[in-house]
């Protein structure tokens, strides 16, 4: 996990502790002011900028400017059409592929690979992270191994995967799975380590043990961290998808990239990049919604 995500997990734990430990007077308003969730909300708000529609419109400003500059290039001809095809040409390339029924196929197969790899990798990451985060024995036995595996740059697995599984769906999904596994594993593992000890002790003091303690205190406490891990994992899954498809495939957006590059079709390269950006952002936004709900529900 990145340093940034690590400190985010720590900060959340610290914030929830101070939120719990407020020791001032019995006054609801002063309490709310200390509430981390509210601070986050007011911190982001600055009048009209906090309005959903306004934000959405502002978010469109820069993309529209870029589109304008892009179109201007087509008119002024600073870069040649081979280097930088016009927006219209990219759109036409998309329409052509769509008419042949290929575009949809590329999108579907890529999305499917990402979702399957992400799902399996996340579940495994959750399971192994929970095991190593909760069991001292498993931690002592396995953490060095997992750490060493994580140190391997994930693309180094490619030759082995191709040798073992041939160039089929399995090898691609497996590579994506590896990419998704580690962010989830690391966030869950660390978050379980940093569950507020006082809360766990309170649970034990009221007779909770084993599975009950796990489901009542420990797992709920790490739900927000799990979601930030999932978002990192999804980003990794798209990254590894493109890597897998660039290396060996006959379908998918990564294949469209490499194939277009071999054929000098810059318009299709742009098409593939834009599609990856849009689909990647859309899946992340969906997960982001789930995360916001989870943070509200579990903190």
Partner 1 sequence: MTALLTPGSTHPHHDHRAFGIRFSRLGQSFGTAEKRRAVLRDVSLEVRPGEILAILGTSGCGKSTLLRTAAGLDAPDTGEVLIDGHPVRGIDERCAVAFQEPRLLPWHTLRANVAMGLPRSSSASAGKARVLELLELVGLTAFAKHRPREVSGGMAQRTSLARALARNPGVLLLDEPFGALDALTRIRMQDLLLDIHGVRPTTVLLVTHDVDEALLLADRILVLGPGAGQTGSTIAELLAVPGTRPRDRASADLAALRSTLLSMLGVDGH
Residues that bind partner 1 (CB under 8 A): 16, 19-28, 30-32, 35-37, 198-199, 201-208, 216-217, 220, 223, 297-299
Q: Return the residue matching tokens 């994930």.
A: 154
Closer by beta carbon to partner 1, 173 or else 217 = 217
Choose between 102 and 198: whose C-beta lies nearer to partner 1: 198
- Determine contact, residues 254/245, Cβ cutoff 8 Å: yes
The minimum distance between CB 20 and partner 1, in angstroms, equals: 6
Contacts of 216 (CB under 8 A, 6+ apart): 203, 208
Question: Taking the complex as a whole, how short is the minimal distance between the CB of residue 210 and partner 1, in angstroms?
Answer: 13
Cβ proximity to partner 1, 76 vs 205, nearer residue: 205
Name the residue nearer to partner 1 (CB basis): 220 or 251: 220
The residue among 220 and 288 lying less far from partner 1, judged by its C-beta, is 220
Shortest reach from residue 33's CB to partner 1, in Å:
11
Round to whole Å and give the CA distance between 294 and 277. Answer: 25
Distance in angstroms (rounded) separating the CA atoms of residues 53 and 168 = 44
* Smallest separation (angstroms) from partner 1 to the CB of 40: 12
Residue 4 or 23 with smaller CB distance to partner 1: 23
Tokens of 197: 């000890």
First to last CA, the chain: 22
Nearer to partner 1, 115 or 223 (CB): 223
- Maximal CA-CA distance, the chain: 75
CB of 205 to partner 1, least distance (A): 5
Q: Which is nearer to partner 1, 102 or 201 (CB)?
A: 201
Q: How far apart are CA 224 and CA 12, in angstroms?
A: 9
CB of 88 to partner 1, least distance (A): 52
CB of 203 to partner 1, least distance (A): 8
Half-sphere exposure of 104 (CA within 13 A, CB side): 4
DSSP 177-202: HHHHHHHHHHHHHHHHHTS-HHHHHH
């Amino acid at each position: 996990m990145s340093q940034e995500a690590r400190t985010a997990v720590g900060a959340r734990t610290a914030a929830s502790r101070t939120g719990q430990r407020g020791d001032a007077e019995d006054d609801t308003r002063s309490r709310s002011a200390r509430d981390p969730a509210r601070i986050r909300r007011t911190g982001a708000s600055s009048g009209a900028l906090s309005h959903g529609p306004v934000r959405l419109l502002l978010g469109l400003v820069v993309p529209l400017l870029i589109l304008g500059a892009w179109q201007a290039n087509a008119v002024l001809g600073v870069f040649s059409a081979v280097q930088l095809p016009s927006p219209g040409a990219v759109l036409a390339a998309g329409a052509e592929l769509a008419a042949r029924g290929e575009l949809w196929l590329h999108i579907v197969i890529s999305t499917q690979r990402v979702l399957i790899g992400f799902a399996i990798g996340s579940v495994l990451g959750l399971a192994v992270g929970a095991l190593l985060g909760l069991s001292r024995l498993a931690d002592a036995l396995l953490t060095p191994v997992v750490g060493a595996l994580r140190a391997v740059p994930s693309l180094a697995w490619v030759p082995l995967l191709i040798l073992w599984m041939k160039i089929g769906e399995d090898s691609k999904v497996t590579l994506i799975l590896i990419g998704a596994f580690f962010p989830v594993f690391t966030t869950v593992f660390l978050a379980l380590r940093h569950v507020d000890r006082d809360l766990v002790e309170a649970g034990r003091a009221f007779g909770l043990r084993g599975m009950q303690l796990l489901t009542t205190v420990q797992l709920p406490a790490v739900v927000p961290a799990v979601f930030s891990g999932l978002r990192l994992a999804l980003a990794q899954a798209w990254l590894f998808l493109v890597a897998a498809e660039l290396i060996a495939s006959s379908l998918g957006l990564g294949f469209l990239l490499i194939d277009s590059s071999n054929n000098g079709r810059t318009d299709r390269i742009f098409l593939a990049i834009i599609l990856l950006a849009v689909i990647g952002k859309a899946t992340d936004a969906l997960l982001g919604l789930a995360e916001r709900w989870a943070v509200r529900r579990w903190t």
